[in-house]
């Protein structure tokens, strides 16, 4: 993760704290091609899973920036097997562009016997079939800053230079306590470990609430990368983190400020139209067998609240700054009806 768990529930190791694998391939795709991979329309393919919050970031950024024609996208099956992410949603179980059945094949072409987890998001070089990068923290920032020549007209500035220090600070705090905190709580095997992580999740959310009570977005008056990173955890909160990961001091829908903030983003083009609640729930409940051995997927929660008025526009701010909203979701990339409220 990013998401790299196989069906054996391997994140749960009795007697040891959950530690996220950070052994990522840090190759970058840049304007000058200094790592051997220059920005080039049509050359690369984004491999994502709608189930995964880290991959969801990349899907949102790609859509907001209008990179759909420049960077094609494959969606992996939310249910992994012992070879991790697979393309069983596609005809014959193969990605139609890369011709592979498992994302691990692209990893192996880059480095035989790659020691890290097979994670999404990942970007693959189509001509060679090799993985370029799975560094999810840097990947979206590069899409925002290195791929500018291929951005759509009216694309927002998701990482404005004048605000980067504040954005970086907020993102670091959100990552430690919220994005990764829910996983540390969910995969804890000791009571104290769980309580520490869970308390950290809610402490950080409660610290963010006053900021979001007085301003529409986390940093400045427009959507930035910081909002995207918080959103992909919040949108999964009631569906999976509250119950499955035991982050249950309160539901997102019970917190007026954060719930309105999350609904505002969900209803913004480029956010909610990338979210597949069906993929999310089936992945967490059926893949994490270490904490849900029956693999039963709950019927709830009721998702209709995501479409209710939020009134956040009264705080001012412009979601896309001087830019514009993205156009319609490209044909073939729509979230199926069963995954929407």
> What residues have CB less than 8 Å from 252, skipping those under 6 apart?
234, 237, 238, 242, 258, 259, 262
Pick from 58, 35, 37, 57: nearest CA to 46:
58
CA-CA-CA-CA dihedral for 273, 279, 283, 286, to nearest 10: 150
Q: How far apart are CA 209 and CA 192, in angstroms?
A: 26
- Cα dihedral 226, 229, 232, 233, rounded to 10, equals -100
Does the annotation count 52 as an active-site position?
A: yes
Determine the Cα–Cα distance for residues 339 and 284; give it in Å rounded to an integer.
14
Q: Which residues of 307-325 are buried (b: 16+ CB within 10 A; e: fewer)?
A: eeebebeebeeebbbebee
Q: What angle do CA 177, 179, 184 make, to 5 degrees?
A: 65
* Catalytic member of 11, 52, 247, 285: 52
- Alpha-carbon distance 329 to 192, whole Å? 44
Comparing C-alpha atoms, which of 271, 224, 36, 51 is closest to residue 133?
A: 36
The verdict on whether 247 is a catalytic residue reads: no
| Strands laid side by side in the 122-125 sheet | 72-75, 44-48, 122-125, 130-133
Give the active site residues: 52, 183
């Amino acid at each position: 993760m990013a998401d790299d768990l196989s069906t054996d529930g391997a994140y749960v190791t009795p007697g040891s704290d959950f530690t996220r694998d950070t052994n990522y391939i840090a190759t970058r795709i840049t304007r000058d091609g200094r790592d051997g991979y220059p920005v080039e329309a049509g050359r690369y393919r984004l491999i994502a899973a709608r189930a995964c919050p880290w991959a969801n970031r990349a899907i949102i950024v790609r859509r907001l920036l209008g990179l759909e024609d420049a960077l094609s996208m494959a969606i992996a099956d939310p249910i992994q097997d012992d070879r991790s992410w697979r393309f069983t949603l596609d005809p014959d179980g193969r990605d139609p562009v890369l011709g592979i059945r498992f994302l691990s094949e692209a990893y192996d072409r880059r480095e035989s016997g790659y020691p890290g987890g097979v994670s999404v998001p990942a970007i693959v070089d189509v001509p060679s079939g090799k993985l370029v990068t799975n560094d999810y923290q840097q990947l979206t920032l590069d899409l925002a800053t290195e791929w500018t020549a291929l951005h759509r007209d009216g694309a927002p500035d998701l990482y404005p230079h004048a605000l980067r220090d504040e954005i970086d600070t907020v993102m670091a705090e959100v990552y430690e306590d919220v994005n990764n905190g829910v996983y540390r709580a969910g995969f804890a095997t000791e009571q104290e470990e769980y309580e520490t992580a869970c308390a950290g999740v809610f402490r950080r959310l409660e610290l963010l609430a006053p900021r979001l009570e007085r301003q529409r977005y986390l940093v400045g008056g427009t959507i930035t990368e910081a909002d995207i990173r918080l959103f992909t955890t919040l949108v999964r909160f009631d569906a999976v983190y509250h119950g499955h990961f035991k982050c249950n001091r309160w539901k997102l829908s019970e917190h007026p400020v954060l719930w309105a903030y999350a609904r505002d983003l969900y209803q913004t083009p480029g956010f909610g139209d990338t979210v597949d609640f069906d993929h999310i729930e089936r992945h967490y409940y059926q893949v994490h067998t270490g904490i849900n051995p029956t693999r039963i997927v709950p019927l709830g929660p009721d998702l209709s609240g995501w479409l209710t008025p939020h009134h956040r526009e009264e705080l001012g701010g412009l979601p896309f700054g001087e830019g514009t909203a993205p156009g319609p979701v490209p044909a073939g990339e729509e979230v199926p009806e069963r995954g929407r409220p």
